[in-house]
Amino acid sequence: MKKNKNFLFIIGLIIVATMSIIALLAPYIAPYDPTSLNVDAILQPPSPEHLLGTDSLGRDVFSRLVYGARVSLWVGFLAVGISACIGIVLGLVAGYFGGIIDEIIMRFVDIMLCFPSFFLILAVIAFLEPNLTNIMIVIGLTSWMGVARLVRAETLSLRTREFVLAAKLSGASLTRILFIHILPNGLAPVLVSATLGIASAILTESALSFLGLGVQPPTPSWGNMLMEGKDVLEIAPWLSIFPGLCILITVLGYNLLGETLRDILDPRNKKLGS
Using the predicted structure, report yes or no on whether residue 251 has a pLDDT greater than 80.
yes
Distance CA 255, CA 206 (A): 16
**Crossing angle for the helix pair 117-126 and 132-141, nearest 10 degrees?**
140
Mean of all residue pLDDT scores within the chain: 87
* Per-residue pLDDT tens digits for 237-248: 989 999 999 999
Average pLDDT over residues 117-142: 83
- For the chain, where are the alpha helices, taking DSSP H only? 2-24, 26-29, 61-97, 99-114, 117-126, 132-141, 145-158, 162-169, 174-176, 187-210, 222-230, 238-265, 267-273
Distance CA 105, CA 149 (A): 10
* Per-residue pLDDT tens digits for 32-78: 999 888 888 888 889 899 889 998 888 999 999 999 999 888 999 99
Distance CA 140, CA 137 (A): 5
**All domains of the chain, ordered by start, with CATH?**
50-61+71-252 (1.10.3720.10)
pLDDT at 117: 79
For residues 205 and 215, the answer to whether their CB atoms sit within 8 Å is yes
Find the range with the poorest average confidence among 76-85, 127-136, 193-202, 254-263: 127-136
| Residues 207, 212, 215: CA angle, nearest 5 degrees | 80
Q: How confident is residue 269, by pLDDT bands cut at 50, 70 and 90?
A: low
Using the predicted structure, report yes or no on whether residue 121 has a pLDDT greater than 50.
yes
Distance CA 155, CA 183 (A): 8
Using the predicted structure, report yes or no on whether residue 273 has a pLDDT greater than 80.
no
Q: How confident is residue 129, by pLDDT bands cut at 50, 70 and 90?
A: confident
